[in-house]
Amino acid sequence: MISLHAMKTAAMPLGMVVGVLLCRPIARLEALSGNMITPALISLMLFFTFCRVDVRQMRPSWLHFWLLLFQIVGSVVIYYACLPLGQTLAQGAMICVLAPIAMAAVVIGGMLGANIATMATYSLICNLVIAVFAPMMLHAYGTGTCTFAQIMAKIAPMLIAPFVAGQLCRHLFHRLSRWICEHSQISFYMWLVSLAIVIGRTTCFILDTEADGGVELELASAALVICLVQFCVGRLLGRRYGDTVAGGQSLGQKNTVLAVWLAQQFLDPVSSVAPTAYIVWQNFVNSYQIWKRDR
């Protein structure tokens, strides 16, 4: 009899392989849905997670402050550090640091044992702060046409709506909320489906991008280094404030869908290869962490 642990361990790399091999059908299916499958899955995952969050436990902390400071200052520092190697590389690296915490980070953090209230608080704070700060960065280093309203239009439906729905369910539909809490592992399988879709779309994007192969390799390599550094720094900060996993996921797992859109719309479109590659790297890190915890 195959154990649940063995199934979960095999399912994670299998989901990525399926995404790569079936990238064209997945991309067509996502296009037919109006690119709504992934947002719908993320919203459902967040709804399941937010049903378990007590608003009274959501408080800003010094951990949140240092994580935000690293993102904002780090995005400026990495831009100028990479600028001698080319503006496209500098823009791609910058957006990988500037991008806010991923919508699914709260879900993955919960699987890994993080304090969900801590991560939910940071998710709301970080996305709002970056929505204010990103237009200034893109004005300085990009086309300068991005606005707070444009970013919030991308963030609010997938973050604020599930939060409100989860809290309403928690307080008004107690039996449903209790059932969701008892079956929180459903979020893992929704994440697997969304992982296969995201990897499939990422594969298609990389295959279809008409850019110099050397530049693409530089962008992908920079994304790998930045991904590992952010997970490590986040875990160090989290350990200092009593929640290693929350720190790592909050800083390392990025809203790459938003990052790719920002890069394509307001920076050199080729720079979007960096956040696209970041999708792959952060999911390798997530898969390894889940495998290690389940082991």
Is the pLDDT confidence value at 6 over 60?
A: no
Q: Which pLDDT band holds residue 237 (cuts at 50, 70, 90)?
A: very high
User: For residue 193, what pLDDT is reported?
Assistant: 85
User: For residue 223, what pLDDT is reported?
Assistant: 94
User: For residue 8, what pLDDT is reported?
Assistant: 63
pLDDT in tens, 72-113: 999 999 999 999 999 999 999 999 999 988 877 887 888 888
User: For residue 1, what pLDDT is reported?
Assistant: 42
What percent of the chain stands above pLDDT 90? Answer: 25
Structural domains counted in the chain: 1
pTM above 0.85, yes or no: no
pLDDT in tens, 109-152: 888 888 888 888 898 888 888 888 888 888 888 877 778 888 88
Using CA atoms, how far apart are residues 92 and 98, in angstroms rounded to an integer?
A: 10
Please give the torsion angle defined by the CA atoms of residues 43, 46, 52 and 54, in that order, rounded to the nearest 10 degrees: -100
User: For residue 94, what pLDDT is reported?
Assistant: 95
Using CA atoms, how far apart are residues 70 and 52, in angstroms rounded to an integer?
A: 29
Using CA atoms, how far apart are residues 276 and 278, in angstroms rounded to an integer?
A: 5
Neighbours of 54 (CB within 10 A): 11
User: For residue 91, what pLDDT is reported?
Assistant: 93
The CATH number of the domain holding residue 64 is 1.20.1530.20
Q: Which domain holds residue 188?
A: 4-294
- Residues with Cβ < 8 Å from 237, sequence gap 6 or more? 63, 66, 67, 70, 247, 251
